[in-house]
Amino acid sequence: MVIKKHGDILSSEITDEHLFLNRRNFVRAAVLAGTTTATALLYRRFAIPAPVPAQVAANIEGVKSSTPDVAVPPPPADARTPYEKITNYNNYYEFTTDKEDVARLARNFTTRPWTVEVGGLVQKPKTFDIDDLIKLAPQEERVYRFRCVEGWSMIIPWVGFPLAKLLSAVEPLGGARYVAFESVVRPKEMPGQREGTLDFPYVEGLRLDEAMHPLTILATGIYGKVLLPQNGAPVRLVVPWKYGFKSAKAIVKITLTEREPPTTWNLATPSEYGFYSNVNPQVDHPRWSQATEQRIGEFGRRDTLMFNGYADEVAQLYAGMDLRRYF
């Protein structure tokens, strides 16, 4: 994102991916060749994060693979991004800005007990225990394209349920027009919050009709398994036609409001990040093009699709709006 003012984030992202692969090969070779001490010295010498042993999350029971009562497009035909990549290449500034080190730093993050306070302009405000929240609606698998504003993308089989189910349960009042999301603040467990790279809590927002759209989900898992901390456990937002930063992780508060709520990246750099953040290959980021993307695990770049490939489902939400102005 914007923290390090690179001249050209896009190419550094590509370099990142090569580095990622090279480091892994290097680390593997080092582990095979050396003793534990020698390897530890190598990590220190080259400042390479030590590899995290594979993390295994618990399975989620009773996930429905189809969606019974909402119209959702079929999953993209492209290959799903491997679990290991989804769980080891993360943006989560509460822990670190190093995508390959989030998994290690988030490993012991506690996700129980956990509550989500839902209030603001609603008839029935309620603080949900996370385990009750998850039972509000059947858990569904949703295979979505995920496009980061930095230019990389994945195909992720999420497990979750439509945010609309939760919003309907609290009964929005007539004056509610927006939904604000707030992530957890826990500096003792989140080293990035002690460094103050961004102002925390991480906050995000959607227009109410975007939040109620059947594609918008609260995710609780990936690949049929409970979310690992690095992916936003125990519950995160996923809005597949918007850049990844709209998908706030580790949500503790949801507030319905009359006015457009502030959002973290817009507060940090308003000229670069707007409120809407719809994936749009025709509107460049001020410092790089958004026309193509690097699918993690692939060679070469592919064209980015309007609304990330979900135009048939969501374009009408923005009818008549100038998407260059409302970026």
**Please, are residues 54 and 82 in contact by the beta-carbon 8 Å criterion?**
no
- Residue 245 interacts with ligand MTE (CB under 6 A)? yes
By the 10 Å C-beta count (0-12 exposed, 13-18 middle, 19+ buried), 71 is classed as exposed
Q: Which is nearer to ligand MTE, 213 or 249 (CB)?
A: 249
Among 244, 263, 295, 310, binds ligand MTE (CB under 6 A): 244
Name the one residue in this structure whose structure tokens are 């308003």: 270
β pairing state of 203-207 and 178-183 = antiparallel
Q: Which is nearer to ligand MTE, 172 or 204 (CB)?
A: 204
β pairing state of 251-257 and 178-183 = antiparallel
User: In the bound complex, which residue of the shown chain has the CB atom lying closest to ligand MTE?
Assistant: 244
Stretch of 107-115, 166-174, 245-253, 303-311 lying at the interface with ligand MTE (CB under 6 A): 245-253
Among 215, 189, 217, 171, residue whose Cα is nearest residue 76:
215
- Residue 266 interacts with ligand MTE (CB under 6 A)? no
- Residue 148 interacts with ligand MTE (CB under 6 A)? yes
Tokens of 165: 């189910």
How far apart are alpha carbons 115 and 253 in whole angstroms?
A: 8
- Residue 9 interacts with ligand MTE (CB under 6 A)? no
Q: Which is nearer to ligand MTE, 39 or 280 (CB)?
A: 280
Q: Which is nearer to ligand MTE, 216 or 231 (CB)?
A: 231
Q: Which residues from 188-217 bind ligand MTE, rule CB under 6 A?
A: 202
- Residue 233 interacts with ligand MTE (CB under 6 A)? no
**Please, are residues 95 and 106 in contact by the beta-carbon 8 Å criterion?**
yes
CB of 189 to ligand MTE, least distance (A): 13
Q: Which residues from 73-112 bind ligand MTE, rule CB under 6 A?
A: 90-94
Among 88, 183, 216, 308, binds ligand MTE (CB under 6 A): 183
How far apart are alpha carbons 86 and 322 in whole angstroms?
A: 34
CB proximity list for 150: less than 8 A, separation 6 or greater: 1, 9, 10, 13, 91
Stretch of 9-17, 41-49, 110-118, 247-255 lying at the interface with ligand MTE (CB under 6 A): 247-255
Tokens of 64: 């429905």
Sites of contact with ligand MTE (CB under 6 A): 1, 90-94, 148, 183, 202, 231-232, 244-245, 247-250
